[in-house]
Structure 1
Amino acid sequence: MSKINILIVEDELIIAKNTAKKLEKSGYHVDKIVSSGQAAIDYINTNQPDLILMDIAIKGEIDGIETAAKIKLISDIPIIFLTAYANDETLERASQTGCYGYLIKPFRDRELQATIKMSLSKYKEQSVIQKSLQDTIKEYSSNFDNIYVNNLTNLPNKLFLRDSFDYLISSLSNDDEQELKLVAFFNIHIDRFSKINNCLDSTQKNIFIKEIAERLNQYINNLSFQGITIHLQEDNFFVMIPLDRQIKASRYGQEILDLLQQAFYIDYHEIFLSASIGISFYPNDHQDIEILLEQAVKATQYAQKQGGNRCQLFTFAFNIKSSQATESLTMEAQLHHALEKKELELYYQPKIDLQTNLVAGTEALLRWNHPTLGRIPAEKFISIAEESGLMKPIGAWVLQEACQQAQIWHDEGLDFLKIGINLSGFQFKQTDLFHQITQVLFNTSLNPQSLELELTETILVDNIKANIQRLHLIKKLGIQIALDDFGTGYASLGYLQQFPFDLLKIDACFIHNIHNNEINAVITQNIIRMAHQLNLKVVAEGVETEAELKFLQTHKCDLVQGFLYSRPLEASQIKSLVHKIANSSRARIK
């Protein structure tokens, strides 16, 4: 098997040579070391390494991020950024290049090894998907006289929609690493298109449409998980992108809006346009392509009603019609009354201590028991609650309700149970959060050491210094802090050790089928080992099989939660489950 060829872009020669030496020792081949962005670009023009390690703060006219963006225009090579800086602006700029990894200096050798393996695997998978899509499009084009391709833009048309959809869905089920979980559907409508077209002749109009298509298609092809762009009508494009996390879709939507707002130059015309984008998700919103397209269109129409130039996620509230056939009721209007009508509920998923095989605590999960739409998970309405100012009362209710329930369990003899509560970004930024927490603890009489607050990486990378201070203040109460969904964001353990965490929760995407997935196994083992070196307990999420559990036990994971033990339950069901698991554990010991 041939060695992986790596290009190192680093202006500190000692660091570069030391990194190269370690890579060579691990079986990689370092093609070359260059010290500037322009030198890297010149090298790529004549060579094709398998991977690039790119320092961001390199000397010269362009930094590492600008260099990466220029390289993407020349060749599709996976890039991993290495940097000592992790401010918000740098992270945001880096994410827009479609990089495959981001390591904060100083990083450990194992972190580098795991990131390289994961990046190469992801790149290989995406390359296969993209090539298959392109080959399929060419096959249809040659066999059916281009009826599946728009003649002007050379993009697939609506006739190829279902075939593209079926292929992307199959890529989810065949994904060995289980990174890809869903497909996002973007319906992109160009605002004021007819008005702009009235100012152009037929030739200019065709050039304009082609440039829009090229700009969109180039962006989509440069994403980490490459999707496909379809031209539905003159002013309407449809994009399908496989994703690992739903939250990325909103970011991609905003980046598309920003991309289309950049000026178009058609002969002597300088044209500025905006777009309205609606997004739906497979399988979360539906599993049929026609319905998913309708849902994306509904979201687009809502965005247009709000003035256009915005991105809108589909919500089932768009399906609600008033009795007098006026405008659809919005989710926001329904949410305003959800608390007073007692439609919000908490469910609890147990966490199992692998040393004792007993229930050690639960995670509180918010649900909206809508009278007509059924139970709606929190991710469907939290963003609306934040935008409309409803997150503060909802967050306060969750904190009070969960702590009160925990104290009820304690009074019933389950005083060992801890309660985990997720904090949204809005909640964590509230200036009176500390006061809210102390007041709830006083009102419920709950021991602060029984409370765990869970936060995600995306919340913490915004204003790092202030967030560290805020967490230290909360920890003074005796509360434990958990980092949720670890491994799906920007962070490395070297960077996160600045925060006063007690627990680290490994995202379920790394746990699924881990006993048969070598890369995820290596990553998870390293996370557990390094977390323990930092005196952090590790919780594995999404454990569904005995094989997954056995792997985690073998590698000394501390706690697990997942469907293998229990789905999220109503509060009244927790006590019996605790006793059931305890009896089962005693029976195994005998």
Structure 2
Amino acid sequence: MQSKVRRFFSGKKRLPLKIALIYLLFGIGWIALSDTLLQAMALSPDWHHTSQILKGWGFVLFSTLLLYLVVEYYRRALVRSETSFDELVQGVSATTGEAFFSLLTQSLCQALKADYAFIGELCGTQDKRVRTVAVYAEGQDLDNFEFDLSGTPCEQVVVRGFTCFPSGVREHFPQGRLAAELGVESFVGIPLFDAEGEVIGPMMVLSRKPMHNLGLAAKMLKVFSVRAAAELQRARSEKTIEFMAFYDPLTGLANKRLFQDRVKQTFAWARRNHRFPAVLFLDLDRFRCINDTLGHTAGDALLQEVARRLQKTLRKDDTVARHGGDEFLILLPNIRQAEDAGFVAGKIIESFQAPFQVDGFELHLAASIGIAIYPLDGEDCDALLKNADSALHRAKEMGRNNYQFYLTEMNESALQRLGLEGQLRKALERDELCLYFQPQYDLDGRRMVGLEALLRWRHPERGLVPPDEFIPLAEETGLILAMGEWVLREACTRAQAWQAAGLAPMRVAVNISARQFHQYDLVRLVRLVLEETGLEPHFLELEITESLIMQDAEGAVHKLSQLRDLGVQIAIDDFGTGYSSLSYLKKFPIQTLKIDRTFVQDLSRNPDDSAIVDAVIALAHSMGMEVVAEGVETEEQMRLLHDKSCNRVQGYLLQAPVPSDAVARILLQASLNQPQDQSSLFCSAL
């Protein structure tokens, strides 16, 4: 009986109605029974009057006692509730990170007698997906998961704010698969906001039964939502800091710091398992030209595409990292023999054969790769990277678009190259650069018609350094820009000085490097040099390689047209060695094609070379261009070129490159129309 009474009072459903009913029954019983008893006990009228007064006071005292007990009961219940809530807040607030989210979801379920609670974060501002950071279900923590917001109660929370459905959730959200799978009947949720007021995720409580304590649920969610949002932001910030510390922000690849850490771990594993991990150093060939032509935005997009292609080509166990700029590092941990690393490098180079699509452009890109094997080429990360870098430079020297394994002698070559680079940087300051000029002769008129300016480095110890030793180095280091500007200004200055001295005016040809051509202010530079030196534009010829202009044919057409508008002559150097498109060639404002020396060397012995020379000459003449043959060294080559109607020639048979001072004597003889010693061979050959 006592247990039934206790359960009756402890039940919180309709508790005010229960108390009122008890009070009503007691009142009715008191009135009915007390009057009957008093009448039966009445001894006199005075006693009856006194008993009525006592009855009234008794009712008041009982009512007061009952009211006190009820109020005290609720006061203590409220104190217990507030104490429990404070303890809950303090307990949850004392934790951080994953423990905070786990304890919060557990506390929400227990306090609200709900079945599920979870906290999630939006995967992105545009993506309607939520990734949970904590899930508590039926008394245990569950693994996190992702789900689509569309058609779920969470969508209402994210879009509209605080939302509750005491019952009928599945009727309100028939498309919500999650609610259907969990059998959810009621839910309450609140959005989490970041410091800028943007929604970053929802906090939800769900139950399989109708939810009645919505007031407490709303209070708890509103109290904890601020802390949950702050903790979620803190977790995001930690992830961002960790990402910035170990990953490249542009490509999402590992950075050098994370790469070195994985290399150390791999070495420890390799020693135990008798493996030979390989480090690959990859550099994109001529990437700077694309950057200079299309801009850094397109260059960044291309690097992202390269990163994706590398990840797609390699295995999951391999690590790809961005070293900086257009350089990448690759760790191959599970290598049994060195040849396997070469196989992977070959696959990477082959994967670059397909063009890259960037901003509507179809870009062709190649890569050079250096390979170092642990422990053969180094027993620590720094040694392997240094040696892989040496192998990379060897790959570039071998023509690019290939891979090379590290060899011990490469270190000596790298040290020499490093020293040469330092000396080259000082060559301009010390006035060690000079120009040599090689004459060009007209085959029909038997006279000198032009000069090609050739850069030389007069080293204080080594003497004249061959151009093929320092020009590629200048290209790679960027020194070619300053050197190219010096060559252009010096050649124009010399040409104008010879004319001012009354010597025969000659067109001077100047080679333009790839980096020079792609710099944005080339046209302005040429105009400025012509104005400063006073040389008339038609006496300047700019030589540009075939492969250079085809890297960005449309951009080349525009820039060459601007140069033509200045009055400058344009020549295509080394024609036939690249991959020109005839449809583009007719668009270029070109006056001269130069046949590469490789086709002239075997002209008398190789029918294929002879056919190529015939085709180039016919093509040029049909398009109104002149043809210059380079590298003429024999009389037989001279006669064949004359028979094929080549316009101009140059080579050691006629005149080796000479210093600027010697050019004045040659021009003086040309002005007097007197053949010089070297040109006597020219005359006899014809």
Q: TM-score, normalised by structure 1?
A: 0.50
Higher relative contact order (CA 8 A, sep 6+): 1
Length-normalised TM-score, structure 2: 0.43
The structure with the greater share of residues assigned to helix is 2
Give the structure with higher Rg (CA).
2
